Amino acid sequence: MARPYALGFIGAGNMAEGIVAGVLAAGACEPDAVIVADPTPERRRLFEERFGATAVEDGRKVAASADTVVLAITPQIFADVASDLTASLRSDQLIVSIMAGWSTLAIADALGGGGVRVVRVMPNLPIRVGAGVAGIVGGAHATGADVALVEQMFEAAGQSVILDDEGLMDAVTAVSGSGPAYYYLFTEAIVSGGIAAGLNEDQALRLAENTCLGAARTMLETGLDPAELRRLVTKKGGTTQAAIESMTAAGVPEAIKQAVLAAARRSKELGK
């Protein structure tokens, strides 16, 4: 018997919200073909009112009724959730995970093993505004069609990178999954500096936010290397050179590199 839902979510957090928004906006799925499960009434209500999706409290209802099941929960609770879902899942379903750390093999084993088809994805928060980027890798039993379906899902709300080596997913997590927070922290620091230099908070924030947006668009639309763009802005003896020299002397570039490596290590730990 055919299931009534094409797409189901275990967890109705920010990532699930962004994915659903993108998929519906692209016309890839109809609202009545989406079901989500979450223990929080406010999150269920949001999905019902904003998207017209079906929202339930029990994840087993999603597992029993959706063709594609997206695991949109924190990795720390997956083992407990998996034990509840296993009896409700069927062998012909596609499992999509957006959890950090958990490998496709470990996910399949937790959900009963065998030939469970798992595609692992690491999206990021800008998916909420249609500007996300996701790393995607198929598990041992996932087909090319499975990976293509997931790619279509995530490109409805941004961009994606298909990986051949699942071992690289920890690096994807560190660079783009956690990456938006690095830019937010950097922007916070710029705003703080602007205020210290005499701007009010609103002025400093507007200038910093739009500078971030402009810098990103310049990288994407010109195709120039970030280092080359930095050199174009940096004039000898000028204000930018003074700023870059100050950051370099303070160890900022190396600190950022080490932060990415720390995130990658933590991603590995979450999968153990």
pLDDT confidence bin for 7, thresholds 50/70/90: very high
Question: Interior CA angle at 42 toward 110 and 72, to 5°?
Answer: 25
Task: Answer yes or no: are the C-beta atoms of 147 and 138 closer than 8 Å.
Answer: yes
pLDDT at residue 272 tops 70: no
- Cα 11 to the chain's mean position, in Å? 14
Quick: pLDDT tens for 37-78: 999 999 999 999 999 999 999 999 999 999 999 999 998 999
Which residues face 136 on adjacent strands? 121, 162
Give the tokens for residue 204.
């400093």
Give the count of beta carbons closer than 10 Å to the beta carbon of residue 8.
28
Class of 5-170 per CATH? alpha beta
Mean pLDDT over 22-32 rounds to 90
pLDDT at residue 95 tops 90: yes
pTM of the predicted protein model? 0.90
Per-domain residue ranges of the chain: 5-170, 179-270
Quick: pLDDT tens for 214-260: 999 999 999 999 999 999 999 999 999 999 999 999 999 999 999 99
Class of 179-270 per CATH? mainly alpha
pLDDT at residue 1 tops 60: no
pLDDT at 2: 47
CA distance 196 to 32: 51
